[in-house]
A and B are shown apart, each in its own frame.
Chain A
Amino acid sequence: GESVGLHLPTLSVQEGDNSIINCAYSNSASDYFIWYKQESGKGPQFIIDIRSNMDKRQGQRVTVLLNKTVKHLSLQIAATQPGDSAVYFCAERRAGSYQLTFGKGTKLSVIP
């Protein structure tokens, strides 16, 4: 069935470098996407969201890019810090629904 997936299960970056976490989705009916950060033993923490009528949205040190043509979503983290180490999930919401469908997650490790 259609689902949200991720290109890489793990990503290691040097402290201070930029990180890019990718996500592929296959449901063309999805109109809203969210990136979450989850630390061990905690609930997912909202990072940034984007609607399907946008290509890019920026927050503090984070940028989400949406390419609807190839159904691809990415999260860019600028100047990655040790506190950014966590599992990152993208989630999609189909138009007309309120449930989120999550991918498996990418584990980001920041090397000091």
Chain B
Amino acid sequence: DTGVSQDPRHKITKRGQNVTFRCDPISEHNRLYWYRQTLGQGPEFLTYFQNEAQLEKSRLLSDRFSAERPKGSFSTLEIQRTEQGDSAMYLCASSSISGEGQFFGPGTRLTVL
């Protein structure tokens, strides 16, 4: 399967704990995006990378959130001191340099107890 992959698929954590998610984009894609989706809503943009550079961040990305793409391939999204409001599906997508055709992975469902 050469699509976008995400790990883990599900994560249950206690409030206050840190969590880290991983995304592996389609191999030839330069751009990588993170979105968050809550139940019944469309995905909301968090941030995106062109190669290893983080170029856009949403105001939704509080200082507890950090994303990296150190070698321009896979990316990680870390949430520190998780809160119940962080419970959501975290989606990763990738695209070619044109930015057209963003293809999503299966997502990581986070539940904060």
Count of A-B contacts judged by CB separation below 8 Å: 60
Contact of A102 among B42, B55, B56, B100 (CB under 8 A): B42
Closest to A97 in B: B56
Chain A binding surface SS class: strand
Interface residues as binary, A96-111 with B (CB distance below 8 Å gives 1, 0 otherwise): 0111111111000000
Give the residues in chain A near B25, CB-CB below 8 Å.
none
Total interface residues on B, CB under 8 Å, equals: 27
Residues of B within 8 A of A (CB): 4, 6, 31, 33, 35, 40-45, 48, 55-56, 58, 91, 95, 99-107, 109
Residues of A within 8 A of B (CB): 4, 32, 34, 36, 41-46, 49, 51, 89, 91, 93, 97-105
Between A and B, 28 residue pairs with Cβ closer than 8 Å are: A4-B42, A32-B99, A34-B102, A42-B106, A43-B91, A43-B104, A43-B105, A43-B107, A44-B91, A46-B101, A46-B103, A46-B104, A49-B100, A51-B100, A89-B43, A97-B56, A98-B31, A98-B33, A98-B48, A98-B55, A98-B56, A98-B99, A99-B48, A99-B56, A100-B35, A103-B42, A104-B40, A105-B42
